[in-house]
Amino acid sequence: MFNLANFKIGKLLYDTDHLWIGNILHEYGEYSPDEVKLMDSVIEPGFHIIEGGANIGCLTIPMARKAGSSGKVAAFEAQPQTAAILSANVVMNGLVEVVDVNKSFLGNVVYDGVSVNIPLYQIGDPRNVGGITGLPKKSHGTVNVNVEEIDHMVYVFDWRRLDLIKLDIEGNELSALRGAYQSIRHYKPIIYVENNIYDIPPDNNNPEGRKSDPQGLIDYLGSLGYICFWHTPAIHEGSGVISHNMICYHKEDERIPR
């Protein structure tokens, strides 16, 4: 069931049947406020931001507000229906000049191919739609979406700066950052990335299972000169940890926490 409500971060359309985001918004009136606070402390007006796994915009909206009219947020959401809700939320919050919604999958074509198949979310689907990853094979109930590399998209957008990469793409973060190699080396953006351990056997959400490489992600960022700090946000105020994330700064960045 869809609901439209005003929250601290702005007006949001959401599906109350969604596991995690929709459920939590409906019951507690917020979602991952620790991440919202961290992004507010990091982002400056004019920031150009790549966001992978934007979902319905719980972070997209406040990030875009902080970046302001001189900033840009390229929000990537591979689920077509979720991307449509995201687009509506961007419009309702008056941020169409700041946010560009992209219905594609961030990755690296060498590792992921030029497209992936993802299980198609239906309205009222109780699954954790944000936790559904790309599948190598086309099957019933899936949709094929393009794989885009961050390096290519920065070129397409004709950006002359990249200040922040924010990724929550269910274990595909390392692949997406490999696709951002040139942009990271050139712009040295702040990187905020989920780095959970995934070693999940096949289930209804992910028929082929899911496995991540947390140490590989740390090693890759280290090879590019990054220093990372753990950030463990709660799903709502007073709850337990929802995710193990990292906020990473290039070693030459004067904003490194001391």
Least confident of 6-10, 140-144, 146-150: 140-144
pLDDT tens digit sequence for 51-77: 999 999 999 999 999 999 999 999 999
The structure's pTM equals: 0.90
pLDDT at residue 31 in the model: 94
Q: According to the model, what pLDDT value does residue 207 have?
A: 55
Report the pLDDT value the prediction gives residue 110, as an integer from 0 to 100: 84
Query: Which alpha helices (H) appear in 108-232, and where do they start and end?
Result: 109-112, 150-157, 173-178, 181-187, 214-223
pLDDT number for residue 203: 54
Superfamily classification of domain 2-250: Vaccinia Virus protein VP39 (3.40.50.150)
pLDDT band at 199 (very low <50, low <70, confident <90, very high): low
Compute the distance between CA of residue 78 and CA of residue 147 in angstroms, rounded to an integer: 9
Residue 149 has pLDDT above 90, yes or no: yes
Q: Is the pLDDT of residue 10 over 80?
A: yes
What are the extents of the domains in the chain? Answer: 2-250
Per-residue tokens: 36: 């919202």
The tens digit of pLDDT for each residue in 213-239 reads: 899 999 999 999 999 999 999 999 988
Among candidate residues 95, 143, 122, the one with its CA nearest the CA of residue 15: 122
pLDDT in tens, 80-131: 999 999 999 999 999 999 999 999 999 998 878 899 888 776 665 555 555 5
Q: Which position has the higher pLDDT, 135 or 238? A: 238
Q: Is the dihedral of CA 134, 22, 58, 217 positive or negative?
A: negative
